[in-house]
Amino acid sequence: MDSRYKLFKSKIGNSRKVNNLNHNIMEERKDFLKEERQQEWRSELRKSIKAKERTDIPRVKMLEQDPFERAKNSAEVNQGLTEDMAFKEARRCLDCADPTCISGCPVGINIPKFIKRIESGDILEAAKVLKETNALPAVCGRVCPQEVQCEINCFYVQKLKKDPVAIGFLERFAADYERNSGKMSVPEVLERNGVKVGIIGSGPSGLAVAGDMIKWGYDVTVFEALHEIGGVLKYGIPEFRLPNEVVDVEIDNLRKMGVKFEINFIVGKTATVDDLKADGFEVFFVGSGAGLPNFMNIPGENYTGIFSSNEYLTRVNLMNAADEEYDTPVFSGKKVAVIGGGNTAMDSVRTSKRLGADNSMIIYRRSIEEMPARVEEVHHAQEEGIEFMNLNSPLEYFADDKGRVRSMKLQKMRLGEPDSSGRRRPIPIEGSEYMVDVDTVIVAIGVSPNPLIPSSMPELKMSDWGTIIVNKETMESSIPGVFAGGDIVRGGATVILAMGDGRKAAAGMHEYLKKNVLKK
């Protein structure tokens, strides 16, 4: 088995933790999925090749840009699968009677169905299947941690001890194929019912809500604080992992379905929820994200040259700071240290390399096995020559007379007993302090929920961590008709978990409106 799955199996074992996420969706859809599986085209396809032949095919390898070349450009690292590769990979899928993969998908994509559409050569149809439950398939195909979701639940991993079907690569393939075909299908929407739905924040959770609500006939408006739609997909995730163009096409698709977008609009500031209610909005979804970067609060952290990952990535991704034609500046450091071990840390450190750093380092207080980043990102970063300084933690920064950071004091760590997250706790080694020269530091140790919306709605019940408390089934907050999801509820998670929340919230909002508004 590929090392990345071994790594994850060692991390989360065989327990299908993620399954619980959408246990309900699975139960409800079981019969429907069974019926679909029994359709003639699928039965025929299953019988067309022996299972043994299918399982003998090795897992496809993603085409990638050469590590040396790509570290100098901002083009996408993963180049996608060719049609032949996708077709061959699709044949590996056994179209199981009990498709355990689906239970690992936070948005409940009908995985075997879309893969079998690819196998039968009907790729546009495969893309349609994706869009039945996922508003952003080309995005998810690129940024989902499939190795801990659908793919780890694949029959190949669970029973055959082999590499799983490359579900993520195939998702991306189908979505890209459709986009490049010029024949983008726009999902069908019900007749407009005139009920106004307000979505606060245009990141992944908000877009997922918009995708479902518009299908059900609502009048959907998404309010965005920044000047671009997409939230973290635009300001956070770099071009080399998720091109903006890909995001824009999916947003445009939502626009074609009838979703309205208002940019430069901060709910709570430009207008309050009460103002919007007076304007006829019946129900709200708060998906304002975790837009408040955490710092370590160690001496010297406010020297110049020390950024939050949010600031660094926003300057480069949203504001195009690396391009001289654009007015926003950014430091192109030569010795760059990124503090943290998540996806954002990987995005930051790889960005710094592309901006011309000679030496880009990851400083993480645990070992590589505990890193929360997607395995593929860690792997790509290693290939690109990123230095991994694991079991290290910064204690203090030092600057020159102008206040620009010049060095940092690190302390070595060792691993102790597992903590509440199940990961081994880092313990400082006394007397192990040493100095490292740096000219740029990016702090990527997580984010806290953005206080703007909650502070404008004092009656909203919040947790001690500043997240909005919701009913886990419906995603409704303490204020009737106000729902929430994504990082403002979770406090910092992934694109796909935010989208899962969005879908759940949309169902909750639909029920709420049926009960309280549509009947009247």
Partner 1 sequence: MNKIVEKELLSNNVVKLVIDAPRIAAKRKAGHFVIVKIDEKGERIPLTIADGDIKKGTITLIIQQVGVTSHKLMMMEAGDTIMDMVGPLGHATEIEKVGTVLCAGGGVGIAPMLPIARAFQEAGNRVICVLAARNKELLILEEEVRMCSDEVIIMTDDGSYGKQGLVTHGMEEVLDREKVNFAVTIGPAIMMKYAALTTKKYNVPTIASLNTIMVDGTGMCGACRVTVDGKTMFVCVDGPEFDAHKIDYDEMIMRLGAYEVEERAAYERFMKKTKV
Q: How far apart are CA 45 and CA 358, in angstroms?
A: 52
Structure tokens at 456: 């404008």
Name beta bridge partners: 292. Answer: 448
How many of the other CB atoms lie within 10 Å of CB of 392?
23
Nearer to partner 1, 217 or 451 (CB): 451
Residue 310 interacts with partner 1 (CB under 8 A): yes or no: yes
Q: How far apart are CA 389 and CA 365, in angstroms?
A: 9
Count each helix (H run) and each strand (E run) in the chain, helices first: 22, 18
CB of 324 to partner 1, least distance (A): 7
Residue 324 interacts with partner 1 (CB under 8 A): yes or no: yes
SS3 of 406, please? strand
Residue 292 interacts with partner 1 (CB under 8 A): yes or no: yes
Tokens 């690992």: give the residue: 104
Q: How far apart are CA 480 and CA 283, in angstroms?
A: 9
Q: How far apart are CA 98 and CA 96, in angstroms?
A: 5
Q: How far apart are CA 121 and CA 83, in angstroms?
A: 9
Residue 225 interacts with partner 1 (CB under 8 A): yes or no: yes
CB of 369 to partner 1, least distance (A): 30
Residue 452 interacts with partner 1 (CB under 8 A): yes or no: yes
Residue 451 interacts with partner 1 (CB under 8 A): yes or no: yes
Nearer to partner 1, 112 or 238 (CB): 238
Q: How many angstroms from the chain centroid is the CA of residue 185?
A: 24
Residue 31 interacts with partner 1 (CB under 8 A): yes or no: no
CB of 301 to partner 1, least distance (A): 7
Nearer to partner 1, 263 or 427 (CB): 263
Candidate segments 207-215, 323-331, 386-394, 498-506, binder of partner 1 by CB under 8 A:
323-331
Residue 329 interacts with partner 1 (CB under 8 A): yes or no: yes
Residues constituting the chain: 520
Q: Please select the residue that binds partner 1; options are 108, 164, 291, 485, rule is CB under 8 A.
A: 291
Which residues inside 254-273 make contact with partner 1, applying CB under 8 A? 263-266, 269-271
Candidate segments 155-163, 287-295, 373-381, 429-437, binder of partner 1 by CB under 8 A:
287-295
Q: How far apart are CA 132 and CA 58, in angstroms?
A: 29
Q: Please select the residue that binds partner 1; options are 10, 15, 297, 420, rule is CB under 8 A.
A: 297
Q: Please select the residue that binds partner 1; options are 311, 383, 387, 396, rule is CB under 8 A.
A: 311
Pairing relation of β-strands 306-308 and 387-390?
A: unpaired
Q: How many angstroms from the chain centroid is the CA of residue 422?
A: 22
Q: Please select the residue that binds partner 1; options are 285, 307, 364, 397, rule is CB under 8 A.
A: 307
Site string for partner 1, 331-350 (x = CB under 8 A): x-------------------
- Assess contact for 381 and 354: CB atoms under 8 A: no
CB of 407 to partner 1, least distance (A): 17
Residue 493 interacts with partner 1 (CB under 8 A): yes or no: no
Q: What are phi and psi of 408, to 5 degrees?
A: -140, 150
- Assess contact for 427 and 413: CB atoms under 8 A: yes
Alpha helices by DSSP H, listed for 216-316, are 232-235, 244-257, 273-278, 309-313
Nearer to partner 1, 60 or 444 (CB): 444
Residue 458 interacts with partner 1 (CB under 8 A): yes or no: no
Residue 7 interacts with partner 1 (CB under 8 A): yes or no: no
Nearer to partner 1, 77 or 225 (CB): 225
- Listing DSSP states for 97-116 in one string gives SS-HHHHT-TT---HHHHHH
Which residues inside 395-434 make contact with partner 1, applying CB under 8 A? 402-403
Q: How far apart are CA 237 and CA 225, in angstroms?
A: 18
Nearer to partner 1, 31 or 327 (CB): 327
Which residues inside 46-105 make contact with partner 1, applying CB under 8 A? none
Residue 244 interacts with partner 1 (CB under 8 A): yes or no: no
Q: Please select the residue that binds partner 1; options are 348, 411, 450, 477, rule is CB under 8 A.
A: 450
Q: Which of 379, 486, 495 is nearest to 141 (CA)?
A: 495
Structure tokens at 209: 């809500």
Number of residues that bind partner 1 (CB under 8 A): 42
Distances (CA, A) of 443 to 64, 103, 296, 310, 440: 28, 35, 8, 9, 10
Residues near partner 1 (CB under 8 A) are 225-227, 235, 263-266, 269-271, 291-293, 295, 297, 301-305, 307-308, 310-311, 314-315, 319-320, 324-331, 402-403, 450-452
